[in-house]
Structure formats: C-alpha cells, structure tokens
Amino acid sequence: TDALLKVQELKTYYPIKGGVFGGRVGDVKAVDGVSFTIRRGETFGLVGESGSGKSTIGRTVLRLTEKTAGDVYFKGTDLYGLSRDELRKLRPSMQLVFQDPFSSLNPRMRVGEAIGEALIDHGLASKAEARERVREVLAVCGLLPDHYDRYPHEFSGGQRQRIGIARAIILNPDFVVADEPVSALDVSIQAQIVNLFSDLQERSGVTYLFISHDLSVVEHLCTQIGVLYLGTMVEQAPRDELFARPLHPYTQALLSAVPVPDPTVRRERIVLKGDIPSPANPPSGCKFHTRCPLAQPVCREQVPEYRDVGGGHYVACHLV
C-alpha cells in the first residue's frame, strides 16, 4: 500500500503516582485507542483542544514517548519492534517540529551550526558538507546566508520557526510531525509558515502529521483531518468532506468557530459549555456527553462505535 504511517488502536497512558506509598493509583489516558493512516505525500491534520492528546500522539508515533498498547507501522515496519540501533538509523527520516523552536535551540550556538548539527551527529556529512547544506536549506526556508552566524535571540518568532523547520528538513525526512508550529505566531505570520510547509512538501514529497487546535489553520494544508477529543478520535474525513459535512457534534462546534470568507454565508456559532474533562477521569459512554448539546440517555451508558459512514468518513456518535 502507499501508507507511510499506520496507527492501530494506539493507547498511551501516563501513570498517576500518589497515596501514602507514592505508588501507581491510576492512569491518565492521554491517547485511548486511536487508529488512522497517513498516505505518502499527504498531510494529515490532527485537531483538538489542549489536553486532547494531540502532542502525545505526535510523540508516540515517532517513538519519542512509549506506547501502552496498539501498533505503529512506519513504511510497513513495526516501529515498536525495532532495536535501539535500527531505530537510530531510522531517526533522520522522521522529524518533529515544535511549537516553540526557541526552547530547543542552544542560545549560545550559532544558528547555522544548530541547523547542521544533526547531519554531523548522524554521520551524514562532514563539517564542510554540513556547512554547504545549511546554506542551501537557509535559502529554501526563506532565511538569508548571513543568518548562519547569528544567534537565536536575534530572530523574530516567525524566523525562529523557519530555523526549527530548517533543522528538521536538512535531514531529508520522509515524515515530519509538526506540533502546533504556528500557534504561537501572529496571524499574518502563520500563513507564511503554513506556505513554507506546503512549498517544502511540493519540493520533496515529505509527509506531514500537522497538529493544531485551530481548524482554520489546517484547512489549507491538510488532505485528511482527524478530530480528537479526550484521547479518542471522534471523526475523520477527507478535508473537503469534513468541512462540507461535519457529522459529529464536537466537529460541528469547532467548525462553527471558523470564520467564513463569504459574508453572505451565515454559520451559527455553537458554544460548548464547560471545559474539557480530565483524561485521568473521563466521562463514561461517549466521552463528549458532558458537553454535547445533543446528548441522549444512551450516550452516558454506551461508547459509540467509530465507523466508516462512506468514502473514508469515520465518526463516533450514536445519532449518526
């Protein structure tokens, strides 16, 4: 198949320590049985509120955080079946771009060296070759040759994110997880960075898992969108289908907050009551029932099945 990443029934739990003896008293079910596939060259948008488990999914599919159960296949290989050595060889081909690239940059290292560092660490280039590659990548990422010798604090937020992206793509990855890469940026800068992701994909065919709490950010970039609530995927569909025909009440609420460019189209804003509950103690049945405007008695009792309603459109709701 042309699947680059296949995730099946993935669970990632974090132990809660407590009590008199500091032992395990429960689990935070950060990711609680999630399945999806990303095809080569596609961009899968993962959307949900903070605390929905997006970042944990991103880290678990790169094996930067260990899974609790389920499977992750990268290019058909069981990622969790690999030895340390095999995993290290695979590392350059799967990269992470952070929300705040500044936090991962050494303030005392010149930016050019920081970008080229991984090439040298992985034994993929000599110092001279790395220097040459960094110059190319600076240009591709919309930075200037003389940025090479500058330090992180000398850059704006948007430029720092370009540096973070340059660090990831210099390794020529097949797969990049971008975890809220534009959330900390001004709206005017967000579009430029989203365009950079898109340009890089056109050049290299790289596949993205693009994480955001904002549906309008993923709208232009993503081919598939998955909506996450409390560690569970509640809906997934091809982008246009999801925007035209959202079926889950949670997706409908998220979409109602996305501005419509056409002023003659009116979309009624659905405001959800309350905050997202704690993943340490999720609601029974449909986890969304405590906030769902359409909840029925059955929703408290029974977990809705996640099923394909046609054309690769998946939804978990008793009413659909």
Least distance from Mg ion to the Cβ atom of residue 99, Å: 7
Residue-wise DSSP of 157-225: HHHHHHHHHHHHHTT--SEEEEESTTTTS-HHHHHHHHHHHHHHHHHH--EEEEEES-HHHHTTT-SEE
Which does residue 55 bind out of ligand SF4, Mg ion, none, counting CB within 5 to 8 angstroms by kind?
Mg ion
CB-CB neighbours of 65 under 10 Å: 17
Q: Which residues of 149-174 are buried (b: 16+ CB within 10 A; e: fewer)?
A: ebebeebebbbbbbbbbbbbbbbebb
Q: Which residue is nearest to Mg ion (CB)?
A: 55
Which does residue 295 bind out of Mg ion, ligand SF4, none, counting CB within 5 to 8 angstroms by kind?
ligand SF4
Q: Based on CB atoms, which residue is closest to ligand SF4, 49 or 117?
A: 49
Q: Based on CB atoms, which residue is closest to ligand SF4, 64 or 320?
A: 320
Q: Based on CB atoms, which residue is closest to ligand SF4, 63 or 318?
A: 318
The reply to whether 140 sits near ligand SF4 by the rule CB under 6 A is no
Least distance from ligand SF4 to the Cβ atom of residue 291, Å: 8
Q: Residue from 12, 37, 55, 161 that binds Mg ion (CB under 5 A)? A: 55
Cα separation of 302 and 272, whole Å? Answer: 21
Least distance from ligand SF4 to the Cβ atom of residue 139, Å: 48
Residue 218's Cβ-count burial label (10 Å; 0-12, 13-18, 19+) is buried
Which does residue 184 bind out of ligand SF4, Mg ion, none, counting CB within 5 to 8 angstroms by kind?
none
Q: Which two tokens stand for residue 139?
A: 């240009």
Which does residue 249 bind out of ligand SF4, Mg ion, none, counting CB within 5 to 8 angstroms by kind?
ligand SF4
Cα separation of 46 and 59, whole Å? Answer: 13
Backbone angles phi, psi at 157, to 5 degrees: -55, -45
Those residues whose C-beta lies under 8 Å from the C-beta of residue 30, and which sit 6 or more positions away, are 12, 13, 14, 53, 56, 231, 279
Q: Based on CB atoms, which residue is closest to ligand SF4, 137 or 299?
A: 299
> Could you tell me which residues are beta bridge partners of residue 210?
45, 178
Q: Based on CB atoms, which residue is closest to ligand SF4, 45 or 285?
A: 285
Q: Calculate the alpha carbon distances from 140 to 97, 158, 163, 204 in Å.
A: 16, 15, 11, 11
The reply to whether 212 sits near Mg ion by the rule CB under 5 A is no
Question: Judged by CB under 5 A, how many residues of this single chain contact Mg ion?
Answer: 1
Q: Based on CB atoms, which residue is closest to Mg ion, 55 or 224?
A: 55
Residue type, 319: L
The reply to whether 317 sits near ligand SF4 by the rule CB under 6 A is yes
Which residues 226-255 are close enough to bind ligand SF4 by CB under 6 A? 248-249
Q: Based on CB atoms, which residue is closest to ligand SF4, 173 or 282?
A: 282
Which residues 253-312 are close enough to bind ligand SF4 by CB under 6 A? 286, 288-289, 292, 294-296, 299, 304
Q: Which two tokens stand for residue 243?
A: 């925007």
Residue showing tokens 């978990």: 316
- Positions touching ligand SF4 (CB under 6 A) are 248-249, 286, 288-289, 292, 294-296, 299, 304, 317-319
- Positions touching Mg ion (CB under 5 A) are 55
